[in-house]
Chain A
Amino acid sequence: MSEDEKKGKSGFEASLQEAMANYREPVDPAVWQGVMAGMAPKQKRRAIVWWWWGAAASLLLLLGAGTLWWSQGTQSGQMLAEQTATEKTAPTEESSKGKLDRSENEVPLILDGSASENQVKEDGATDEQAAGLTASKANTDLALTSTNAKELTRKLEGQAASQDLPATATEEEPAPVIAANSPSNPKTGTRNSDGLSTDPNAAFGAPKQRDAGLASTSNDRSGNAGDLKDTKVDAIPYRVAFLDVVPDLPQQLEATDLAVSPFSKKSRKKVGRSSSTWLLAAAVGTMQTQSSTGSRSPSFSTQGLATGNPVVNSNDELGYLSEDASVPEEIVERVVLLPKPEEDYTGSVTAAFTVQYFLLPRLSVETGLLHTSHQFSSKVVYLNDFGERVHLESNFSDRYLGAPLQLNYYFLQSKRFNGYVGGGLALEFGYSRRVSNTSSPDDAWVVSESSSSLDDFNLLTPVGLGLGYNLGRYFSLYAQPGLTFFVPGFEPEGIGNLEVDALQPNFRTGLRFHF
């Protein structure tokens, strides 16, 4: 019995098999050329080309992002340089008088870098000098509405004139806390002569400036104090800010030169405690003077008047106190100090396009482009002018562009799905911050959104467990929940007084090209 018969096949099948078994058909020469073209070496060359294109594109993007980041810093640096040049060349006649006869549009206040908190509390006169509180006519008319405030202004002017002091630092007290307490930030690396780092503050979407205020004039602080006043006038073309203080603080604090900086923790980190002290001194000095007139309770708390303190303007936009006064006038006109908000870092989400090259069947190296959004939230409750309890909730989304260098080990490689564990290093540059504010006075809800540039970069080591879905031979979609460890000193800028922990959750998803 034949095999075909065993299978139940008839003679028909046998005949067919016999007829077709050795059937030959001529082949076009193009087939061999196609075979040669599709052979492995070509595939390998193509893969290598893809790899180089991917690496080159990533490098280009990284350089682009870096250049953008650097150019922002350079622009601010140029402004600072121009300002410094003005200081050096400007006549000092006016400032040598120690008078405060400024033009209508100038800001009257100079903060004193030499005054310490204790001095402020112990001696009212010194407080006033230390506060450096002065006022022009325009600002007096505009801002200091109370008689007591006007009296205070006149008193300060008289004191400053009689002592020929510009209401700034004295040579005998050169503010030692400045250098000692100024934190060093490895991310910026730029510091001026007395240890103050440059400060990339901006104000509610205003262009960033570096040390437009105190830090840029630090040399003058111990020398020609009059120059400092002039510099302040040039640098801060804004008027007096009214500060409403939340319930546990004095009811109304009229302060000058307290500007609002946009959600920047760096201003606090870089300038450090010294500037905070100045602001504190200014505020306390003002309050004590006011209390001496009997119009205000002197029960002032030191809480909440440091640089970086959260404030909200009349539009319910959240910001932080800073020495940088680059704030539009209409925004600064009325500012409310807030109690300490609940600030939190809520994680990050990354969208990615990456290129992956397999070094071994299960081990690959990956790079590409990452777009990461670091999320922060801030919640605070305060009373507005009408005594209404206002809930202000702000969500911050800091956007970064970056590139990873990551190793992935694949424990699952099926036709459709793949699974891996991966980790490596990533560098990312901030370019935008978007803020969404929601305030709820009673039943009314007000939502506002704003965006500003972000001058920051992070260095991090992400690790994650990924699951991918293969789209054909070369592409896959993947989701990679994991953890991110920020290299100390290179963590996200954060908001307010929030310190971002080094270890944070991250969710990454994206499209991957692999070969």
Chain B
Amino acid sequence: MTEAQLVEQCLKGNAFAQRRLYDQYSELLMGVCLRYMGSRELAQDVLQEGFIRVFRKLDTYKGEGALGAWIRRIMVNTALEHLRKLKKQEMTADFQEADYLIPEREQTLSGIGAKEIMQLIQQLPVGYRTVLNLYAVEGYNHREIAEQLGISEGTSKSQYSRARNLLKKMLNRQTISAK
């Protein structure tokens, strides 16, 4: 069954097709949600709500671009909506930890498994984590991030810079402890 046929069947209310679509993307999208939300419970809530939106809005998918990318965008937006409900202070918290940042060294994350990276990302403060995900993983630029999160472009840049440094610091610790 092609993607177009899958979408068509889902639109007709075919439960098997819906389940197939869900199975095809749920684990991948669970990873996305986990990166943004920081906890498994919250990630599953977002995943559930995101899939409901996917099925409700499937008629608006015109086949332009990959279906996976379209669904992923909905999921990211759903996660951001949840995050927006958090206090704004949390998103732009003054993280004292940034003062203790180690000098930046280029690092390629080689030798570190994706699961470990995911765990480190989840440990980041929510504001850092969100900007890092949007910029480094999803590929948004700072202007787009600023619009999405309702913050200034400068804030996005500084948040990302601090998030990046903090993550590197954590990776270094991880590497040292592994050795």
Residues on A lying within 8 angstroms of B by beta carbon are 3, 7, 9-13, 15-17, 19-28, 30-32, 34-35, 38-41
Contact = CB atoms under 8 A, between A and B. Distances in A.
Interface stretch (B42-50, B91-99, B145-153): B42-50
A35 B52 contact: yes
A15 B108 contact: yes
B105 to A, nearest CB: 10
Nearest to B31: A23
Contacts of A17: 136-137, 139
Contacts of B106: 10-12
A40 B56 contact: yes
Given A15-B110, A25-B27, A31-B26, 11 more contacts: A9-B136, A12-B164, A12-B168, A19-B109, A19-B114, A23-B114, A25-B31, A25-B118, A31-B47, A35-B22, A41-B13
B88 interface: no
A172 to B, nearest CB: 85
A23 to B, nearest CB: 4
Contacts, number: 89
13 contacts: A3-B139, A15-B107, A20-B121, A23-B35, A24-B31, A25-B30, A31-B48, A32-B19, A32-B26, A35-B51, A38-B52, A40-B56, A41-B13
A30 B121 CA distance: 25
Contacts of A22: 28
A99 to B, nearest CB: 89
B17 interface: no
Nearest to B171: A12
Give the 6 A-B residue pairs with the shortest CB-CB distance, closest first. Answer: A23-B31, A24-B27, A15-B109, A25-B30, A34-B48, A13-B136
Contacts of A28: 44
A424 B135 CA distance: 54
Interface in B82-130: 106-110, 112, 114-115, 117-118, 121
Contacts of A41: 13
Interface of B: 13, 19, 22, 26-28, 30-31, 34-35, 43-44, 47-49, 51-52, 55-56, 106-110, 112, 114-115, 117-118, 121, 132, 135-137, 139, 141, 164, 168
A448 B164 CA distance: 76
Given A13-B135, A17-B139, A26 B48 contact: no
Contacts of B55: 35, 39-40
B91 to A, nearest CB: 21
Nearest to B44: A31
A26 B137 contact: no
A9 B136 CA distance: 8
Given A12-B168, A25-B31, A27-B26, A20 B48 contact: no
Contacts of B164: 12
Contacts of B34: 25
Contact of B114 (A3, A9, A20, A27): A20
B34 to A, nearest CB: 5
A20 B48 CA distance: 21
A24 B51 contact: no
A40 B34 CA distance: 26
